[in-house]
Amino acid sequence: MDKRMYFIYNPHAGMERIRSNLLDIIDIFSKAGYEVTVYPTRDKGDATRATLNMKDGYDILACCGGDGTLDEVVAGMMKRSCRIPIGYVPAGSTNDFARTLKIPRDMRKAAGVITGGREFKCDMGSLNDRTFVYVAAFGLFTDVSYGTGQDLKNTFGHLAYIMEAFTRLGDIKPHHMKVSHDGKTEEEELVFGMVSNSFSVAGMRFLTRSDVTLDDGLFEVTLVRMPSGTIDLGAIATAMMSGESNDYVSFFKASEISFSSGESIPWTLDGEYGGSLKKARIRNRHMSLGIMVPQEEIIESLSP
């Protein structure tokens, strides 16, 4: 064996499917000629620490877990002076970014993509000093993913997010914010804001636009203003389904955008709690990381 792989996995992700697939996954890696070092995570943030502490000399870092596990691995890799490609075996409840990259849901097939696919240089993002992979958001329902218990996720899967969201319908509250991008600043009363680079967020395609390009240096931005009644809610729903801006919803692209408010506002990064902030500066880190994708996929075909 002349190739080395570092393999980080979260044994509790999704419905703990990794437990029945782990030996098969390692066998696929080994048969492809890799000497595999295996690291199971134990606590939140452990995947980041393992990535940072990984010794030099590995050819690829593979990880298995949900979007949160991938987020932690990417955060660690972005802090390393020498970056190597990342392979991803999705095992979470939604797996938004894997879906975007056409990585198979089947864990054995995803392992095959890592060993037989190709490297795709895609954009990453930063919010102040934090790295994120595909989405940073605040406002209505954005805490559902990290506020939903792991046991509930393991039992009900994606339905768990919907169940949790219904308990929060009475919590609609606007945030007065200054939004700055492309040399202009506007003040808005916003109930939701999302900066993304994905075809799917929280398992729902309608939350994102169809003109997404993963390596163009631009984020897709969605801002939703405070509705005043039932008619406004209908207009918001229409805009979200059509992807067309109106008086209540704005869609645009930006490589950098800043939000500021007089109050601390909770942010979600890739489905995990990203901190409560009064100021958030979000920047696109163009083609900054290599991810293994299926060999047969052409970059232009990575579309919804």
Q: How many domains does the chain have?
A: 2
Residue environment code for 130-161, b if the CB has 16+ CB neighbours within 10 A, otherwise e: bbbbbbbbbbbbbbbbebbeeeebbebeeebb
Q: What is the pLDDT along the chain (304 residues), one digit of tens a residue?
A: 589 999 999 998 766 778 889 999 999 999 999 999 999 999 999 999 999 999 999 999 999 998 889 999 999 999 999 999 999 999 876 778 888 899 999 999 999 999 999 999 999 999 999 999 999 989 876 654 444 444 544 443 444 433 444 444 456 678 999 999 999 999 999 988 889 998 867 544 545 556 788 999 999 998 988 877 656 667 777 776 677 888 888 999 999 999 999 999 999 898 788 899 999 999 999 999 999 999 875 444 454 4
pTM: 0.82
Domain containing 16 — which CATH number? 3.40.50.10330
d(CA 72, CA 82): 17
Neighbour tally for 129: CB within 10 Å = 6
Q: What is the DSSP string of 123-189?
A: EEEEETTEEESSEEEEETTTTHHHHS-HHHHHHHTTHHHHHHHHTTGGG---EEEEEEETTEEEEEE
Q: What is the pLDDT of residue 301?
A: 45
Q: Are residues 98 and 176 in the same domain?
A: no
Q: Are residues 41 and 10 in the same domain?
A: yes
Does one domain contain both 260 and 135? yes
51 and 138 belong to one structural domain: no
203 and 155 within one domain: yes
Residues 7 and 26 in one domain: yes
220 as an active site residue: the answer is no
Residue 187: its pLDDT value, please? 95
Do residues 22 and 85 both lie within one domain? yes
3-state secondary structure of 50: helix
Q: What is the pLDDT of residue 246?
A: 82
Q: Which of 272, 296, 297, 300 is catalytic?
A: 272
Query: Are residues 293 and 275 located together in one domain of the fold?
Result: no
Identify whether residues 135 and 270 lie together within a single domain. yes
CATH number for the domain harbouring residue 138: 2.60.200.40
Q: Which domain holds residue 155?
A: 130-286
Q: Are residues 182 and 248 in the same domain?
A: yes
Residues 267 and 291 placed together within one structural domain of the fold? no
Q: Does one domain contain both 119 and 151?
A: no
With CA atoms as reference, report the closest residue to 213 among 230, 201, 196, 226. 196
